[in-house]
Amino acid sequence: MSGAGSAEQGEAVKVLVYSDDRNVRAQARSAMGRRVASDLPEIEIIECATANAVVANADTGEIDLFILDGESTPHGGMGLCRTLKDEVVDCAPVLLMVARRDDAWLASWSRAEGIVSHPVDPVRMPQEVARLLRGRLAGTPATA
């Protein structure tokens, strides 16, 4: 797998949203809108319902941010995050959606740079997305 990201100055950033639940993907899309902050480019959202689709998109090296649902089945977002971090060179930051506060340690194990809670919080999610995208576009590693 490769990595690198796609966003050039002014180009849309590619945000991949993974969940086996289309309602969760729709909530994430709605929370982010077309732009999460005025200082960031517009967002192009790529929705994936399967882990295989996430990996195929990761292989393109064009994703600027992954948003993974920790509650997805049969492949949860935390394990998928760990796989991406292990196998994608210069992997884009990952924002995990988790249902339980107790899952924060698993998110840390997965090496995700950010965590938001389920259900999607329409204020918190765009803030975290903006934080992670700013770091990605500046070329500085994000931390949880």
* 52-75 pLDDT per residue, tens: 999 999 999 999 999 999 999 999
Considering the domain boundaries, does residue 98 fall inside one?
Answer: yes
Considering the domain boundaries, does residue 120 fall inside one?
Answer: yes
The whole-angstrom separation of Cα 32 and Cα 24 is 12
Asked if the peptide bond before residue 74 counts as cis, ω within 30 degrees of 0, the response is yes
Asked if the peptide bond before residue 119 counts as cis, ω within 30 degrees of 0, the response is yes
Considering the domain boundaries, does residue 96 fall inside one?
Answer: yes
Residue 12 has pLDDT above 50, yes or no: yes
Considering the domain boundaries, does residue 1 fall inside one?
Answer: no
Considering the domain boundaries, does residue 109 fall inside one?
Answer: yes
Considering the domain boundaries, does residue 21 fall inside one?
Answer: yes
Considering the domain boundaries, does residue 4 fall inside one?
Answer: no
Residue 60 structural domain: 13-138
Stated pTM of the model: 0.89
Number of structural domains in the chain: 1
Considering the domain boundaries, does residue 116 fall inside one?
Answer: yes
Identity at 76, one-letter amino acid code: G
Percent of the chain surpassing pLDDT 70:
88
What mean pLDDT is predicted for residues 83-96?
94
CATH number, domain containing residue 60: 3.40.50.2300
Residue 39 has pLDDT above 80, yes or no: yes
DSSP per residue, 47-94: EESSHHHHHHHHTTT--SEEEEETT-SSS-HHHHHHHHHHHSTTPPPE
